[in-house]
Amino acid sequence: MAKPAQGARYRGSIHDFPNFDPSQDAETLYNAMKGFGSDKEAILELITSRSNRQRQEICQNYKSLYGKDLIADLKYELTGKFERLIVGLMRPPAYGDAKEIKDAVSGIGTDEKCLTEILASRTNEQIHQLVAAYKDAYERDLEADVIGDTSGHFQKMLVVLLQGTREEDDVVSEDLVHQDVQDLYEAGELKWGTDEAQFIYILGNRSKQHLRLVFDEYLKTTGKPIEASIRGELSGDFEKLMLAVVKCIRSTPEYFAERLFKAMKGLGTRDNTLIRIMVSRSELDMLDIREIFRTKYEKSLYSMIKNDTSGEYKKALLKLCGGDDDAAGQFFPEAAQVAYQMWELSAVARVELKGTVHPAGDFNPDADAKALRKAMKGLGTDEDTIIDIVKIQVIQKIRRNTQKFYHPPKWVIFIVVVYLSSPFFCL
């Protein structure tokens, strides 16, 4: 499954390991599983610090060196949720999706939530790779298996998504936007009954850019969001699938942030969902998911995983998460909200920026620390003073000196959250 290059805009939490040596890694894993028992700590540390591409090279070297299948050995040595997570990391992404769907349609019953999550969120390229991987791994046709295990309009929409033919043209026709809005309105709100085929065709084939404009225009025209019409006109698994499609069109990271929250809230944990998302998004958009999660639920994804899981399983999940956003937001949740809004702005109006902040010639850390303390003393905060000082000073030096006067250094947390989230705020 394709993932973005690990450049400036790479939003995954797992990166290529520097000075990578697949033969040495294969030997390390072999030794970790040799003899009685296994060194689970060594296994999780190595596998969660390598990219999927690197893990595939390790698998090849393991077989060349020892004549054994690494995934089979991991399955034998590990158990439970930890085994499922580690083995999931070892599969190529498309084969991981194929395994999840195979499990969803096998045996008694169907895991409609799994089918919905995967097929509503994947790109055309990812869908094509999934279909090919399913055929290669199970010698079966994915579409035929989905048809055999589902029914009705839910089935029809899944089949449309399985074609991987969503339009990808960035050019949007204003006339077609208005026509689609009218067609959706007439298929639902203005019709006795519902023309589900119209919803399937438009939501299953139009480009993301086009549909976002359709959703905006639909709200202006009808006075209600498209989600409200879907809830009123559709039902059951079909309704849930269409709502998932709309959420992914609006923001795929936000869709997964919501899925992760629901997987862990309340009693018990939906571990299969948690594992599937953490594995599949770790090299795609985990950083975006974390940001949205922190803003939307006022707690970090890291802290929720930490409180909801245990053992090596927890350690591996936290490695995939990649960091705790509560460290920057626990004192100033409103600052996290500002940071998220600025992140959205910078995503739309991203430009090449040159540095404009330079060390001050008359830098006096003690004086600045006192001024900052005074700016936050009593009722209210003198934000102008804070910004004026920080934007011309070296943050690390000030922090060392502010600790002389008070603890914890809340102003540092406030500024780091907002200032580092977007160049537009302090400038």
Query: With 80 as the cut, is the pLDDT of residue 112 above it?
Result: yes
Give the confidence band of 35 by pLDDT, cuts at 50, 70, 90. confident
Is a pLDDT exceeding 70 seen at residue 60?
yes
Cα–Cα distances in Å, from 19 out to 63, 269, 319? 21, 37, 20
Q: Structural domains in the chain?
A: 93-162 (1.10.220.10), 174-250 (1.10.220.10), 331-427 (1.10.220.10)
* Structure-model confidence comparison of residues 170 and 370, the more confident one: 170
Band of residue 70 on the pLDDT scale cut at 50, 70, 90? very high
In 10 A of CB 105, how many CB atoms? 20
pTM of the model: 0.77
Give the whole-number percent of the chain exceeding pLDDT 90. 70
Query: What are the C-alpha distances in Å from 123 to residues 162, 245, 276, 287, 306?
Result: 10, 12, 17, 19, 31
CA distances from 66 to 28, 58, 267 (A): 12, 12, 44
Please, which pLDDT band fits residue 349 given cuts at 50, 70 and 90? very low
pLDDT tens per residue across span 1-25: 444 556 558 999 999 999 999 999 9
pLDDT for residue 98 is more than 90: yes
Angle, in degrees to the nearest 10, between helices 236-250 and 226-233: 170
Cis ω before 408 (30° cut-off from 0) = yes
Task: Report residue 216: phi and psi, to 5°.
Answer: -65, -45
Is residue 81 within 8 A of residue 312, CB to CB? The reply is no
pLDDT of 36: 82
Instruction: Provide mean pLDDT across the span 39-60.
Output: 98
Residue identified by tokens 């589902």 is: 150
Residues recorded for the chain: 427
Band the pLDDT of 170: cuts 50, 70, 90.
confident
